[in-house]
Structure 1
Amino acid sequence: MAQQHLDPTDPVAGAVTGDALAGYLRAQATEFLRALRVHRETGGEGGAHARAKSRPAGNGSVDSVDAARALRRSARRISASLHTFRPLLDPDWSEAIRPELAWLSGTLAMEHAYAARLDRLLLALHRLSGAPVFPAQAGTGIAGGTGIAAGTAGDSAAGVHSARAAGTAADGPLGAAADSPSRTASDAPDPAADGRVAGAASALRQAAPPHAGPPAPAPTPDRGNLTVGAAKAGALLERQLTLARTRAHSTALQALGSSRFHAVADGIALLASEVPLTAAAATADLRPLAAAAEERLTDAVAALPLVTAGHPYNAEALIHGLSPDPAPHPQDAPWHQVRLLLRLHRYAREAMHGGDTSVDVRLLAAGQSLNRHRDASEAAAAAAQAARTPRIAPATAYALGVLHADQRHEVEAARFAFQQSWQMQRVGTS
């Protein structure tokens, strides 16, 4: 069967030459420089750590957050265009600046990623525990944060932070928590904790509360264990991920003040005025290169187990996903690669059509599903890593095991949603 493309090029339309690519790169470079100016004018104190200080909207902190996001967005688009259309660009220049843009984008994204991961995990803990109020605990957080009072189940905003009360000494030393999903030497495996992580998956269905309807029935013993450990699990995640977020914030500030970043900014400033195209780019057509990016995407999607992902409950994949193995799950890597290739395809369409690109709701739905997949898989890894903290209470390890299983369920749900949106794309283009 011939492959179906997501957005086939109109055969009647004329060739899209290097001038369109040059205009797109100049526009993205201008956006980068504008965001950099705003970031410098606002002091560069943005990020999730600044938002935690609850400053009023519209101040320099919020402007700096938006500016950092705009820097990442422009850097991603420039780097992706240099990758997709590299035969039309000066090879020495493009190969030198493209890794630097990837470094900058990744560095600026880490703080937001840790903050979003913490919010996601605390929301899931609040939903799974079934308790209207988390058990109150005294103490303070790290990085200048204070303990936050517990909220009610109906208060979504307060519910996110209700688990952020600081933990007690029963959860053991947390100061040496790692700041990445991978395990470090200080996070020695605890066989008992790993057994509780794997065994807690069987209680996920009893732990999950109904989404709506009458009040939940009397808590079972498993639900009671989850409720007891939820607050301490939330405090443990709060400490580990807030520490990682604070380090990422410091790293981003150091990066923006480094000579390496200034060299990148100088290169982008030159790009805003002159794009180093090859001599043949003036008459070359962008469509074959954009089609090649689309082919790479379709080939990567074809290698995914979409038939298996098409089942609403993928028990086989979930069993592998709940393994206590601390290594990143091998099933996730191909899906992450498809997410990156889908982004390259979207940016290639933008470069060819510029501001006239219409929003493809099917591509948008597929991209959102893959973003959910990435977020859930990283959150599951963070929960599993927290469960391996030495000398934590059994109830805490149990709650983290249920949380890990819940996020692996979210991974399978995201794969199912992507499969549905992808099939919709094939039907729409057949």
Structure 2
Amino acid sequence: MATEPGAAPADGSGPGGDALAAYLQAQATEFLRSLRAHRESGAGGGGAPEESAEAVRALRRSARRISGTLHTFRPLLDADWSETMRPELAWLSGTLAREHAYASRLERLLLALHRLSGAAPVPAAAGVGARTAGADAPAGAIAPAAPDRAGLTVGAAKAGALLDRQLTLARTRAHSTALQALGSGRFHAVADRIALLASEVPLSPAAADTGLRPLATAAEERLTDAVAALPLVTAGHPYNAAALVHGLAPETTPQPQDAPWHQVRLLLRLHRYAHEVLTGAPADVRLRAAGQALTRHRDASEAAAAAASAARTPRIAPATAYALGVLHADQRHEVEAARFTFHQAWQRQLR
């Protein structure tokens, strides 16, 4: 198919098959480029670990964009091919994401422990550029109530060591799983199909007379509806005590308040990708700011869950449990701060 990668119609109203094919071909080419970089930086390739990690991140980015585009513009694509590819891409991107997620979560929690206790810094997870917890809290947000620093410092070192053991073990297992996945027949089948996608996109007959804009608009409307269902009136305040109390409840299941926000994050990602297909350009800075706030929300929510899980470790010292409890509360405050930041960014997006 002789389409130029990156090409897009002027307004998205005309037949969108060529523009969609160009975008998918560009993402498939980027996937293959990242795969080659990963192989060259791997064992025997002489590359640095940082280069291999960046290649894996690039693989994930391309896989997410291809999968999201197949979802949003599925009427323009061969249905059987699209429905077969999407689960495989989701498996791949999810598998490759876990190692970085565990490492980033550990660094976030260790930095938060240091900030809360004022103790000597605990060694952070290597190779992860996570932000210091609390650094992204919006202006006007109320900081967590000051903990008993003397009591916290006693348990902070042991809490940090416990988190380090648990999350490093999880990271190591995720690394092994990712390596196994990249060497599996399942992955090679995915890579082969993406290689074919780089040269030919299986469009449906409807692609000849279906525009991109209606499908992109539908993705935006799904996002808008999901945001409208969020408690943005509450999120418009820098401190939501009711949600924090709920977040400190003893249930071991994920916080039910978090799930709608996670769903909005996924829908916002689909909207961004649809915007890229439609216009050939990245989303504007206000939309990116909203997405970053939701990513911080996800990170803080998962970090709080990790602290709560560690606190349930049998036979830990009371001081350790206290430090983990304070850490959990701190990360739930970060969840609320991220919701407040999203509220402000979304309101700017609507102007």
Matches within 5 A, 1:9-408: 15=14, 17-43=16-42, 59-131=47-119, 133=120, 159-161=121-123, 205-207=145-147, 222-354=148-280, 357-408=281-332
The amino acid that maps onto 1:377 is S
Conservation of the 8 A alpha-carbon contact between 2:103 and 2:125:
no
Paired residue type of 2:185: S
Distance 2:47 2:219 in 1: 41
Post-superposition offset of 1:280? 2.4
* Kept in 1: contact 2:25–2:201 (CA 8 A): yes
Match of 2:341 in 1: 417
Distance verdict in 2 for CA 1:412–1:268, change over 3 Å: same
Does the 8 A contact of 2:122 with 2:160 survive in 1? no
For 2:181 and 2:341, locate their aligned partners in 1 and report how far apart those are by CA, in whole Å.
Answer: 37
- The answer for unaligned runs of 5 or more in structure 1 is 1-9, 47-57, 134-158, 165-203, 208-221
**Contact 1:163/1:235, CA 8 A, preserved across alignment:** no
Q: How far is 1:359 from its partner?
A: 4.1
CA shift, 1:13, in A, is 7.0
Normalising to structure 2: TM-score of the pair?
0.89
What's the secondary structure of 2:42's corresponding residue? coil
TM value normalised by structure 1: 0.73
Query: Measured at CA, do residues 425 and 160 of structure 1 come closer, stay the same or move farther in structure 2, by a change above 3 Å?
Result: farther
Which deviates more from structure 2 when the two are superposed, residues 316-325 or residues 79-88? 316-325
Give yes or no for contact 2:275–2:282 (8 Å, CA) kept in 1: no
Runs of at least 4 residues of structure 1 off by over 4 A? Answer: 10-14
Task: Decide whether the 8 Å contact of 2:13 with 2:213 is kept in 1.
Answer: no
Kindly state the Cα deviation for residue 130 of structure 1 after the two structures are TM-superposed: 2.1
Is the contact made by 1:16 and 1:287 (CA closer than 8 Å) also made in structure 2? no
Aligned residue pairs: how many? 327
Give, in angstroms, the shift of residue 22 of structure 1.
0.2
Among all aligned residue pairs of Structure 1 and Structure 2, give the percentage whose two residues are the same amino acid.
77
Deviations 1:337-367 (A, max 9, x none): 000000000000111122xx15411101100
Cα offset, 1:163, TM superposition: 10
Seen in structure 2, the aligned counterparts of structure 1 residues 89 and 359 have a Cα distance that, compared at 3 Å, is closer
In our comparison, the structure showing a higher alpha carbon Rg is 1
**CA apart distance, 1:16:** 5.6
SS at match of 1:273: coil
Give me the whole-angstrom Cα distance separating, in 1, the residues matched to 2:216 and 2:124: 47
Amino acid at match of 2:257: Q
